[in-house]
Structure 1
Amino acid sequence: MPKATVKLIVTGDDFGYCPRRNQGIVECFLAGAVSNVSLLVNGSAVSDAVQLAKSSLHLPDGRAGPLSGCSSSPQLDFLNICFLLFFLPEIRHIFAQVLKDYGITYTRIPIEPDLPRCDWIDPPLMAFYQGVEKDSLNTVAVFRKHSIRWPDIYIGLSTMGKNMSVTNIRGAIDNATTSYLAKVGDSSTLPSSSVSPDQETRTVTIELMTHPGYPSIPPVGGCGEGPDDFSQSWERQHELETLKNTELQNHYKTRNIELCAFKDLGL
């Protein structure tokens, strides 16, 4: 089995949902706990998010360089809409065409390799996740038709909310990487990815989707109808604290896992 160099994108999702989510994502970014953020363009606090990005972050999509000094309409490199929506039959083709029209070459496919073995996930939630994965599988051909690519591995369903822990993140990365490398010989099973020319060392790309922040306080937040239960949950702050845990940061260093953004993958 070839050795692997792991490039890990830790995405803080829903930047722009509410000021308290924005605050948490910025804290994680500045602490090196997330390496990429996705902007929720119809979030009620999207203007606040953009201002924070100009003053505190690199571009939300991971482009090199700070936002300060950019035009009022920066180049669009990463389009974020609710991941539950763009895999639906009525939307997937439109979404893929929009990505192509704007020169966006990458997105995510939320299919987590080790999900069926995650017995700590409540059965109703597992059924929901499996439905998301089914819709995602049906979207692969559409994205490939439009030359849209994605990282080798997606993680984030088994580690969401209360299920996020240093142990679960570490296990998800290790198990998914091992499973992926076992399939390297069968190219028909591999998703679109960056590959090292050295056959002894393969670069494995992973996206870890996260939702850190501070719980939203009604009526502030949301996408027009106030904040939902997900955003008001204590689990948002739990994710924030877990991602900033020094034990997790040390694990990345020990395993030589490189945190990066999409632009670093060469997709």
Structure 2
Amino acid sequence: MRRFLVINADDFGYSVERNEGMVTCFLSGAISGVTLMVNGVAAEDAVNRAKKVNMPTGMHFNIIEGTPVGTKTKTLTDCNGKFLDLSSLKKALSKGEVDMEEVRWELQSQIDKFQSLMGRKPEHIDGHQHAHLLPGICEVFASVLRENGVRSTRCPYEDLEPDHVYSWTADVIKDLDAMFQEVIDQASSAKPILKENGIWVSDRFVGLQTMGSDMTIERLQRQLAKAFKCNENDVISCELMVHPGYKSGDVGGCGIGVDDFARSEQREHEMNVLQSKEMQDFYRTQGIEIVPFQRCYS
């Protein structure tokens, strides 16, 4: 049985410091690719860096932070023209206040911008904070990917560890397990929709419980070993979602400034774990091959 692990770094283009850290991780073999936020203030810098080192680059569809790329976003934005945050978007969806044609237009606008920056369409697109899986949005998302020939996306169905104690967000979110379970449930509902549209997703996923200081070598190895445990197929694939990068300075974001996570040591902590000898030895002894998304479905 072959074991393919895609280690994908989110939020490429958020800041120059983050871009630099992700390229460092790629060159050291700690990640296999990145997904670009085309509305990030450092998107052009990110693209230039990716092209120089031939780094696999997909798109990180962002509909919940900062400034839209398209012009038809009335139901997706606030009075200042900025995207509704994730909580506000969920509320608007529950009330039937979101125009799905605006979702379609914004997604296509971001794909078009990606193409203008990279010189090609993305082969992989996932969603910032998993907003691509929200009920109603997922159907539009899958349809637009199919129409653009996009081959793969993220579907984060992960086994939650019981009694897991979270660190970096414990004072902000009181019930992370409930939030993560909601994402997992949405992923389960999205999987058949994505399949109907010919969109490939990995067999397994790891990353919800290993962000920032919650990423330890022990926990990461345990979660990956569990993900790859026992499978009847000749090849099993797993995506590991990561958020490495040097901590951001005063310039960054998607049009609303730099958040606390970007300014913290959390991103550099992930870089250290991912580049550690312990993780490289683990992949080798477990027979895990670090590959880009395209290797899994080609």
TM-score by length of 2: 0.74
Is the Cα–Cα contact under 8 Å of residues 105 and 149 in structure 1 kept in the other structure? yes
Q: 1:146 to 1:164 in 2, by over 3 A?
A: same
- Kindly provide the amino acid, as one letter, of the partner of residue 47 in structure 1: E
In the alignment, does 2:3 pair up with 1:6? yes
Q: Residue type matched to 2:284 in 1?
A: K
1:182-220 Cα distance to aligned partner (Å, 9 max, x none): xx4xxxxxxxxxx4xxxxxx21101101000011122x1
* 2:134 paired with 1:137: no
Per-residue CA deviations over 1:53-100 (Å, capped at 9, x if unaligned) read 1112333149xxxxxxx9962232122431421111231111111110
Question: Which deviates further from its counterpart, 143-152 or 121-130?
Answer: 121-130
Distance 2:122 2:225 in 1: 33
Corresponding residue to 1:248 among 279, 282, 288: 279
CA deviations on 1:206-262 (whole Å, 9 max, x unpaired) are 1101000011122x1111101122222211110011101011111111222110011
Whole-Å separation in 1 of the counterparts to 2:217 and 2:31:
14
Is the 1:61–1:262 contact (alpha carbons within 8 Å) kept by the matching residues of 2? no
Q: Secondary structure at the match of 1:138?
A: helix
Equivalent pair of 2:206/2:240 in contact (CA under 8 Å): yes
What's the CA shift string for 1:84-123, capped at 9, x where partnerless?
A: 211112311111111101111211111112x143623355
1: CA distance, partners of 2:237 / 2:267: 25
Match of 1:238 in 2: 269
Counterpart in 1 of 2:227? 176
Matches within 5 A, 1:144-163: 144-163=195-214
Q: TM-score, normalised by structure 1?
A: 0.82
Partner of 1:65: none
My pick for the range that moved more, 227-236 or 10-19, is 227-236
Q: Which amino acid aligns with 1:264?
A: R
Q: After TM superposition, list the pairs within 5 Å mapping 1:186-265 onto structure 2.
A: 195=233, 202-218=234-250, 220-265=251-296
- CA change 1:118–1:160 in 2 (3 A) is farther
Structure 2 runs not aligned, ≥5 long? 60-115
Please give the alpha-carbon distance, in whole angstroms, between the structure 1 residues aligned to 2:130 and 2:148. Answer: 21
Determine the structure 2 residue equivalent to 1:73: 119
**How many equivalent residue pairs?**
236
RMSD of aligned residue pairs (Cα, Å): 2.0
Alignment partners' CA distance in 2, 1:237 and 1:87: 28
Q: Does the CA contact (< 8 Å) of 1:111 and 1:136 recur in 2?
A: yes
2:136 to 68, 76, 90: 90
Amino acid at match of 1:117: P
1:173 partner letter: L
* Counterpart selection for 2:164 from 119, 127, 133: 119
Moved more, 120-129 or 93-102: 120-129
**Aligned residue identity for 2:138:** R
One of 52, 56, 61 as aligned partner of 2:53: 56
Structure 2 vs 1, CA of residues 80 and 107 (structure 1 numbering), >3 Å: closer, same or farther? closer
User: Paired residue for 1:190?
Assistant: none
Are the aligned partners of 1:20 and 1:215 in contact in 2 as well (CA < 8 Å)?
Answer: yes
Relative to structure 1, the CA distance from residue 6 to residue 226 in structure 2 (aligned partners, 3 Å threshold; closer, same or farther) is: same
CA distance in 2, matches of 1:226, 1:89: 29
Q: 2:146 is paired with a residue of what secondary structure?
A: helix
Letter in 2 for 1:25: M
Structure 1: 5+ residue stretches without partners: 63-69, 185-194, 196-201
Q: Does 1:42 align with 2:46?
A: no
**Whole-Å separation in 2 of the counterparts to 1:47 and 1:157:** 28
Q: Match for 1:100 among 118, 143, 146?
A: 146
Equivalent pair of 1:13/1:37 in contact (CA under 8 Å): yes
Distance 1:130 1:84 in 2: 12
Whether the aligned pair in 1 keeps the contact of 2:47 and 2:118 (CA below 8 Å) is no
